[in-house]
Structures are given as C-alpha cells and as structure tokens.
Amino acid sequence: MSAQHSTVLYVMGPTASGKTELAVALHRAIPSEIISVDSAMIYRDMNIGTAKPGPAILEIAPHHLIDIRNPDQQYSVADFCRDANQLIDEILQRDRLPILVGGTIMYFHSLQFGLSQLPAADPATRSQLEKFTQTHGLAALHQRLAEVDPESAARIHANDPQRIQRALEVYQLTGVKLSAWQQSKSPVRSDINTVCIGLFPQDRSQLHDRISARFDQMLQAGFIEELKTLREHWNLTAAMSSMRCIGYRQAWSYLEGHIDYPEMRDQAIAATRQLAKRQLTWLRHYPDTYCIDPLKKGGTDAITEEIIYQLQ
C-alpha cells in the first residue's frame, strides 16, 4: 500500500448480522488488522453481554479497541476518533489493511466526516427540559423533538431521554437542528480511501430470530452472573454508560427487582431489535456504502470474496 491515498475498510452492520465472523475471515484472507468500532466492547469484564469475541477468536484475529476502559469510566466519540486515527496510521505503516468493524455507526461517521462542533451543554436549558419531562412525560418530549427535528426524532429511540434532551438542547441553543449539525459533505482525511461495506439483512424477521437466539445463548452462558460479578467488583450505577448498554440495562432492573426474569428477557430482545432498526436506518443513509445481504449471500466465504473484489 502506498503511504498516500491508502485504503481503509469499513464493515458496518446491525447487531447479530455476522460482523465478527466476517472480519475474522477477511483478516485471514488478506494482510490486515481489525479495529473494533463498538461502544460496548471497549469495557473490560463485559464479555457475554456485549458478544465480545472470545480468546480463541482474538488469538487468530486480535482486535484493537477492545477492553480499553473499566466499566466505571467514560469513552467519548472524540476519544474513539483519536485512537482509531492513530491505529489506522500505525497499521498502514505496517503495510496492512485497517479493517474497522462494528455496529456503532456514529463512530464510523464521526471518524470519516468529523465531529460536529456542537455547543457545550447548558445547565439551565437541560434543567428546563428535565422539568418538562417530569411534568409531561418522555413521550411528549420525543414528540416535541419530532416537531422541530423529525430526522433526529426518527433516529433517536423514544425511550432514550439523554439523546432526546441533547437534540432539543442543541436546537434551543442554536436554532439549528441536530441533524443539520451532523451533516457533512467531505471526509476529514484526504490521505486515505475509505471503502464502506454495509451488512444489510433484507429479511427483518430472520434478523429478529437471530437476535432472540443470541440473547438466549448469552443467558445460558451466564450473562446474569456476569453482571452480578461486575456489580461486586466495580462501583457502578445504572446511569453509567456501561450499564446503559442494551441487555445490561434490563438485567440491572431485574437484579434490582423492578422486573421479573421473563420481562427482562423480552425487554432486552425488544431493545436489541430497536437498536438493529436504528443501525439499519443509519446504514441506509450512509454515503457511498456497498450493501450486502449477509443472510442471502451464500455464507461468509462468498461475502469475503465479494469484499476483496470491491477493494481492487
């Protein structure tokens, strides 16, 4: 690979679409290194609930940006962009292909097109929005966002108070929609060529079945015990970013006695399906992305061959 205009591969897709398996296959087929693009896999000791690759897979195909934060620590989009850019340069210097793989599409977009220079949080505005939520409910707050910024409202889940409040805060402070702030036209780095692959299952019911089966496998593998151990070893709260990850949030409520086991399972699966829907929405509008249906393509080997062809 030349030092200038070197290639970087993005492999994006919804949860349970087979991204890790594909990344490992690509790594074995071409000289490459994998960078994880997953806002949950960054946390140490959170293995089962994040579907983190196990030791056997990581021995074959090591992943950068896994296990880099404790569960009680923060990791921002800016942190990711800094770390990923540094890794990309190091991997390219080793004459290997950086393969960025994951489902946190916002990380991909921020890395490629830059972080929006959004206004800082304003305590007075935030307090006013919190009071509105307490008085009128979260659904009313989401509806308020839909009226001023329908694009953001469509992307942000109706049960995500932090992101709804932030979108409204940005609009109230600047008069500009968050979705407009986040639009960008040109890549940040002109020295690399980014090839974007999107795993886009067309059969939503098949994807839903995979999500349900995977969560049941997590439960059988000891997911609840994993969370119990986390709560014993770390000073965690339900409001921390790590514990707001899907699955952990519902399991926390179960351990606190707020919901029973079947409710926990159903809520976690429903939330994961909603996440997949948001990921697919991101992918549908992601610029210059070559989409592949991983459930129809004929297996990982066929997809690997097609991606290698796209890289040529």
Task: List the CATH number of the domain containing 30.
Answer: 3.40.50.300
Q: Mind giving me the DSSP string for 216-257?
A: HHHHHTTHHHHHHHHHHHS---TTSTGGGSTTHHHHHHHHTT
Q: Residues 50-57: contacts with CB within 8 Å, 24+ apart?
A: 50/245, 50/247, 51/15, 51/16, 51/20, 51/214, 51/218, 53/20, 53/24, 57/20, 57/24
End residue of a domain, out of 134, 163, 181: 181
The pTM for the full model equals 0.82
Q: Which phi-psi region, left, alpha or beta, contains residue 137 (left: φ > 0; alpha: ψ -120 to 50)?
A: left
In the chain, the percentage of residues whose pLDDT exceeds 70 is: 96
Max CA distance (Å), the chain: 59
6-35 average pLDDT score: 97
pLDDT value at position 182? 67
Give dist(CA 261, CA 251) in Å, integer: 8
Residue 307 resides in a domain:
yes
pLDDT exceeds cutoff 90 at 118: no
The residue segments making up the domain with residue 138 are: 123-181
**Domain count for the chain:** 2
Alpha-carbon gap, residue 54 to 10, rounded angstroms: 22
Q: Are residues 136 and 96 in the same domain?
A: no
Which tokens is 122 given? Answer: 């304003």
Q: Quote the CA–CA distance of 170 and 181 in Å, as a whole number.
A: 9
Residue-level pLDDT at 5: 60
**Residue 180: pLDDT over 80:** no
What type of residue sits at position 240?
M
Least confident of 97-106, 213-222, 290-299: 290-299
| Residue 22 in domain | yes
DSSP state of 192: E
Which residue type occupies 221? A
**1 lies in a domain?**
no
Shared-domain flag, residues 220 and 106: yes
pLDDT at 110 over 70: yes
Residue 107 lies in a domain: yes
Query: Pick from 295, 282, 279, 142: which is nearest to 209 by CA?
Result: 295
% of the chain with per-residue pLDDT over 90: 76
What pLDDT, on a 0 to 100 scale, did the predictor assign at position 2? Answer: 40
Query: Which of 15, 102, 12, 22 lies closest to 300 in space, CA to CA?
Result: 22
Are residues 270 and 194 part of one domain?
yes
Same domain? 136 vs 100: no
Among the listed residues 47, 26, 27, the one whose alpha carbon sits nearest the alpha carbon of residue 222: 47
Q: Check residues 228 and 157 and name the one with the higher pLDDT.
A: 228
Cβ atoms 16, 106 nearer than 8 A: no
Model confidence at 178, in pLDDT bands (50, 70, 90)? confident
Question: What is the mean predicted confidence (pLDDT) over 134-148?
Answer: 93
Of 297, 158, 65, which is closest to residue 52 (Cα–Cα)?
65
151-166 pLDDT tens trace: 899 989 898 898 999 9
Where a domain ends, among 159, 181, 203?
A: 181
The model's confidence at residue 4, banded by pLDDT at 50, 70 and 90, is very low
pLDDT bracket for residue 117 (50, 70, 90): low
Dump pLDDT digits (tens) for 201-227. 999 999 999 999 999 999 999 999 999
Average pLDDT, the chain: 92
| 299 shares a domain with 200 | yes
156 and 294 both lie in a single domain: no
- Are 71 and 230 a contacting pair, CB within 8 Å? yes
Q: List alpha helices for the chain, DSSP H.
A: 19-29, 55-60, 77-93, 105-113, 123-136, 138-148, 150-155, 161-174, 178-181, 204-220, 223-233, 248-255, 261-284, 300-311
In a domain, 283, yes or no: yes
pLDDT at residue 210, rounded to an integer: 97
Q: Say yes or no to pLDDT of 3 above 80.
A: no
Q: Does residue 262 share a domain with residue 154?
A: no
